Amino acid sequence: MPAASPIQDTFGRSMRDLRISITDRCNFNCLYCLPENEEAANFYRKRADPGNAKPIKYSWKPKSHFLTYEEIIHITRLLAAGGIDKVRITGGEPLLRRNVERLIEGLAAIPGIADIALTTNGFLFPRHAEALRRAGLNRITISLDSLQPDSFRQITGRDGLELVHESLSLAHKLGYSPIKVNAVIIRGINDHELEDLAEFGREQNVAMRFIEFMPLDSKRSWQKEHVVTKREMLERLEKRFELIPKPGNNPAETAKRWTFADGTGEIGIIAPVSEPFCGNCNRIRLTADGNMRTCLFSLHEHDLKTALRDGATDDDLTQRLREIILTKEERHHIGEQDFVQPARTMSFIGG
């Protein structure tokens, strides 16, 4: 049987990377995503217009509202036939969903899927790390926005720093590679830890990723002055470390990367606000409730669950997927006058 033609958008970008959110629930309340804790509320109350800081009230949905693992595998198989070869499992916190290793095993068995990664806050990872590795999980990304227990609690809404350290140690032991650590840098919250986080990444021999603060918070209180830009981060890091640019071999890569002079560890900066990388974007997103998103900042979602459950054939679903991807936006509009924040926040969309 001949291979399907690559799935492309109207700008000639071939889709290769699928981000799958498997739950919108999370056991953290990070202030850049679900800031419903007191510390985050105080931060926004001081810095944002209270009239724009109205929290979203969430109503958790029944299990039937979300795609089953079999449905996720089905959609992924159709996309893999059109060129998708990388999958990242996200949430919410994906490890809150039961038997994630069963999903990983099913995805790993799909012809063409060469790389499976998972993003987690690390809190539950020690319980699942070995089973996930056996199932076929290649890579792990762990969120760590602060090295200080009090600041960690302020940002996430709970204690959990020790479990993050345990997760990193276990990931090394089990042979996950590369291990990435994500830190969202927010002015006035954790920007003073930038250099210490970089040093931590070097000491731990992980790929440390610094991410600009994006407008995906549930209080809709994002303001540009909260953003520490890539340029500012790099200027500060180069004052403390000798950094060597690391050329990327993938033009769709989200991070600009550097290695340390001693060859241990790596840092990367993801700058969607100050230096967007939309031109080479090859990513699409599947939400936990069965909608396809063509951009992290899309204002529209495309329902797949209804067709899937109404008995659509694989040919029908493939045609629907291709039609959706043809609507992929050329770029986002963060910082522009006409920018509108998506209705759903990062916990629903997936990173």
pLDDT per residue rounded down to tens, the chain (351 residues): 345 788 999 999 999 999 999 998 888 888 777 645 444 445 444 544 444 444 445 555 778 889 999 999 999 999 999 999 999 999 889 999 999 999 999 999 999 999 999 999 999 999 999 999 999 999 999 999 999 999 999 889 889 999 999 999 999 999 999 999 999 999 999 999 999 999 999 999 999 999 998 765 545 555 778 899 999 999 999 999 999 999 877 877 888 999 999 888 999 999 988 887 788 899 999 999 999 999 887 878 999 999 999 999 999 999 999 999 999 988 775 666 666 666 666 666 666
pLDDT of residue 56: 46
For the chain, list the domains and their CATH numbers: 17-349 (3.20.20.70)
pLDDT of residue 44: 46
Residue 178: is the preceding peptide bond cis (ω within 30°)?
yes
Which of 244, 125, 235, 234 shows the shortest CA–CA distance to 174? 125
Token pair 């060859």: residue: 263
pLDDT of residue 263: 85
Which of 75, 99, 198, 217 shows the shortest CA–CA distance to 144? 198
How far is the C-alpha of 287 from the C-alpha of 319, rounded, in Å? 19
- The SS3 call for residue 147 is coil
Largest Cα–Cα separation, the chain: 61
83 backbone φψ class: left, alpha, beta (φ>0; ψ -120 to 50): left
pLDDT of residue 291: 95
pLDDT of residue 219: 52
